[in-house]
Amino acid sequence: MSGSRTVRLPEEVCVAAEKWLPGKFDDLEALLTFLLTESIKEDGEKLDQAEEEMVEQRLRDLGYI
């Protein structure tokens, strides 16, 4: 990681998330980093799928498929 930022979260959210941690993540920061990274990755995959569908539609329109 090249740097870090401070994020403010409600105490009850942090407490609930920390109950989830044992055996899964070292700390709350590791959990949040994992969740945000996976969320971003999923959005990227959705975009790729949308682009693929657009290309397929163009090929259909041109009569190649």
CA dist 11 and 40 (Å) reads: 24
**More confident call, 43 vs 12:** 12
Quick check: is 44 in a domain?
yes
56 located within any domain: yes
Distances (CA, A) of 26 to 15, 22, 35, 49, 54: 14, 7, 14, 34, 42
Under the banding of pLDDT at 50, 70 and 90, the label for residue 24 is: confident
Q: Does position 1 have pLDDT exceeding 70, yes or no?
A: no
Question: Does 32 score more than 80 pLDDT?
Answer: yes
Q: Please give the tally of structural domains in the chain.
A: 1
Residue 32 CA to residue 48 CA, distance in Å, equals 24
Identify whether 18 is part of a domain.
no
pTM here is 0.56
**Residue pair 30/20 in contact by the 8 Å Cβ criterion:** no
Q: Are 28 and 18 in contact (CB under 8 A)?
A: yes
Is residue 5 in a domain? Answer: no
